C-alpha cells in the first residue's frame, strides 16, 4: 500500500513539473493567438506573465515590443525592442522595428561627434552581446589549452611551433573576448540606457522639486542613467546635456 502511495505521489509530482515546464509555452501560444486576433492588451499581459516567471529571450521581447507598438504604446515598444537587441544585436527584424518605432520620437537630439576610431571600436564591441563574447572567450580558451597540450606532447618540431603560436593567438583572443564581455556588463550596470516613458518631463539641475528647470524632453527618448539619488536619476543625453528627473519618468532597458 505504501509503495502505491509513493507511485501516486511520484506521478503527481511529475505531472506538476511537466505542467509548470509547459506553462510558458502555453502562455506564448495564447499570446500569439490573441496577437493574431488583434487583442493586443491581452497578448501583452500573457507575454509579461512569461517574463515574470523568469523566462526571457530576444524573440519574447521582440513579440512584446510588437504588441506594445500595435497598442500605440511607443515608449514600451522601444524598451522591449532595445531589450531584444541586447540579446540579439544583429537581428534584422529587431533593428527594423526599433528604427520604425524611433520615428515616433519627438526629440531629435544631435549626437556629439566622436573620433572615428573610437566609434569604430565601440561598434565592434557591441557587434556581439556580452553572452556571445563570453562564449567566444570560453571556446577560444579551450582551443588554446588543446593546442598547448599538442605542444607539450608532440615530438615533431613543426607541430610544436605551430601549436604554440596558435595557442598564443587563441588565448589572446580569449582574453580580448572576455574583456569585451566584461566591458558591456560594466556599462549596463554603471551607465544603463533607459527610455523616457512620461509624455513630457522637465529635467532639473538637482534631484529636488525646486531644482532649476534645464530643458524639456518627451516620451520614447533614449538616455543614459549616470547616477541615482533616492527617487531621482541623473540622465545624460546623446548631445552631452545632463540633469535630474524622477525614476518613475523612465524605464531602464
Report helix angle 74-87 to 58-70, nearest 10: 160
Residue 169: per-residue pLDDT: 96
Residue 186: per-residue pLDDT: 78
Residue 22: per-residue pLDDT: 57
Residue 11: per-residue pLDDT: 39
| Residue-wise pLDDT tens digits, 131-177 | 889 999 999 999 999 999 999 988 888 989 999 999 999 999 999 99
DSSP class of residue 39 equals -
Q: Is the dihedral of CA 18, 21, 25, 28 positive or negative?
A: positive
Residues 91, 28: Cα–Cα separation, whole Å: 20
Which cell goes with 1?
500500500
Residue numbers in the chain where pLDDT is lower than 50: 1-21
CATH of 2-102, one of 1.25.40.10, 3.40.50.620, 2.40.30.10, 1.10.1740.10: 1.25.40.10
C-alpha count within 13 angstroms, C-beta hemisphere, residue 61: 24
Which cell goes with 182?
566584461
Residue with cell 516567471: 53
Whole-model pTM: value is 0.72
Residue 111: per-residue pLDDT: 75
Residue with cell 517574463: 51
Is domain 193-252 annotated with CATH 3.40.50.720?
Answer: no
Amino acid at each position: 500500500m505504501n509503495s502505491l502511495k509513493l507511485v501516486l505521489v511520484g506521478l503527481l509530482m511529475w505531472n506538476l513539473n511537466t505542467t509548470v515546464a509547459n506553462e510558458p509555452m502555453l502562455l506564448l501560444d495564447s499570446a500569439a493567438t490573441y496577437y493574431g486576433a488583434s487583442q493586443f492588451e491581452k497578448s501583452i499581459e500573457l507575454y509579461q506573465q512569461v517574463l515574470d516567471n523568469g523566462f526571457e529571450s530576444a524573440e519574447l521581447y521582440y513579440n512584446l515590443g510588437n504588441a506594445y507598438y500595435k497598442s500605440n504604446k511607443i515608449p514600451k515598444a522601444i524598451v522591449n525592442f532595445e531589450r531584444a537587441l541586447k540579446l540579439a544585436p544583429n537581428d534584422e527584424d529587431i533593428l527594423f522595428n526599433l528604427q520604425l518605432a524611433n520615428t515616433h520620437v519627438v526629440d531629435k537630439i544631435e549626437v556629439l561627434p566622436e573620433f572615428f576610431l573610437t566609434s569604430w571600436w565601440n561598434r565592434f564591441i557591441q557587434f556581439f552581446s556580452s553572452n556571445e563574447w563570453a562564449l567566444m572567450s570560453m571556446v577560444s580558451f579551450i582551443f588554446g589549452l588543446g593546442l598547448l597540450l599538442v605542444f607539450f606532447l608532440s615530438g615533431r618540431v613543426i607541430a610544436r611551433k605551430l601549436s604554440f603560436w596558435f595557442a598564443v593567438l587563441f588565448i589572446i583572443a580569449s582574453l580580448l573576448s572576455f574583456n569585451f564581455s566584461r566591458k558591456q556588463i560594466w556599462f549596463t550596470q554603471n551607465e544603463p540606457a533607459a527610455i523616457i516613458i512620461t509624455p513630457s518631463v522637465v529635467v532639473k539641475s538637482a534631484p529636488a522639486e525646486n531644482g532649476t528647470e534645464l530643458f524639456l524632453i518627451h516620451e520614447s527618448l533614449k538616455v543614459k542613467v549616470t547616477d541615482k539619488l533616492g527617487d531621482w536619476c541623473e540622465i545624460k543625453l546623446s548631445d552631452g546635456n545632463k540633469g535630474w528627473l524622477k525614476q518613475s519618468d523612465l524605464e531602464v532597458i
